[in-house]
Every structure is written in C-alpha cells, then in structure tokens.
Amino acid sequence: MSIILNFNEAAAIPLGGLNALPFLRLANIESGERILINGAGESIGIHGVQIARSAGTQVTVVDAGHKAKMPSDLGIDRFIDYTRQSYCEEEERFDVIPDMVAKSSYSKLIQSLARGGRYFTANPRVAAMIRSLATIAFTNKSAGFAFAGETVEELTSLKEMIEKRTVRPVIDRVYLMEKVVEAHH
C-alpha cells in the first residue's frame, strides 16, 4: 500500500530515519524492554521514538522541556526535562539507551542501564569509543556506536514503516532556502 507524501514530508524522513535505524537495529530491541532515548526532541530522536514504539518498547525520553510536545505526541511513556530533573536521579534502569546528544555524560548514562543493558551513541567521540570497549570488558553491560549506513535497504525499511504507519514524518517548521543556516541551528 503506497502512502503519498508531499515534498516536505518526504524530506523529513531520511536524515533522522537513516540515522536512528542503525542504532535501534544494533540494540536488537525487543517488545517490553525499557528504552531511554537521550535527545528525543530532534530528527534522529523523533524517528528513534517511533521505531522503538513500533517494536513494543516502553519509551522514556530526555530533552529540554520546550521540546516535550513533539515526542509526547508520538505516544511516549514518559518525558524527562533535563533542565529540571536528571535522568540519572531515577531509580528506574533501562534496557537500552540510544544517546543522540554529543555532550552527554557517558558514565551517567551507563549507570542508568539495567544489568545486561545496551548503550549506543549516535555522536561517537574517540573517548566514548574507548570507554565502550572498557564497558564491555569490565561490566555486565554493553556499549557501542554505529555510523549511519544510508543504504538502499535501510531506506526501503523506512518506506515500509511509513506504509505500515509505524513511522511518520514530523515537521515543526518549514524554512525558506535562504534560511537554511537558521534552520540547522
């Protein structure tokens, strides 16, 4: 079944979708698992929320409070405004943490994992890559990173998710081409 998207909707899928998909595949998420998506108010996180929800997971997201509406509209279980509360103060531990924030605290996110939990960063710095190896070697948790493959197969998977209505384009604003720098910020 084909879904017709306009140009704006079609343009909203590839960046976030093709970056979120490899992490959630690498995490091998399963129905019923608890997922904390750090940085869920932007393109990659928004797609991550939808992909995780379609797998039957319990989704908690972390972002600034002014970004709460968009992920909340996607049916998340809980929103944590990091400007008011720290996710690491929570007693709950998570099975999977996809981290979309370049400046997040690696150690705090690892501490937020349940036994056997899996952490993946979308913004791998060299230090996080090395720490991932140490986490795997010296704890009962795993950590890793992936780079977006941006393959035809991944794009086809996203197309199928759109057709099944498990992923949809999310657009908060449309900018004119001469405002591309402002849009990126």
The per-residue pLDDT for 76 is 92
Rounded to 5°, the CA angle 170-155-104 comes to 60
Q: pTM score, two decimals?
A: 0.86
Helix, strand or coil for residue 123? coil
Domains of the chain: 7-184 (3.90.180.10)
pLDDT digits (tens, 9 = 90+) for 81-104: 999 988 777 788 999 999 888 788
Contacts of 115 (CB under 8 A, 6+ apart): 93, 140, 141
Beta strands across the sheet bearing 34-38? 78-81, 58-63, 34-38, 94-99, 113-121, 142-145
Per residue in 110-138, pLDDT (tens digit) is: 999 999 999 998 777 888 888 888 898 89
- Alpha carbon distances (Å) from 138 to 26, 67, 120, 151: 20, 36, 17, 34
Partner residues linked to 81 by β-bridges: 63
Q: Is the pLDDT of residue 41 over 90?
A: no
For residues 27-39, average pLDDT: 93
For 176, residues 6+ apart whose C-beta sits below 8 A from its C-beta are none
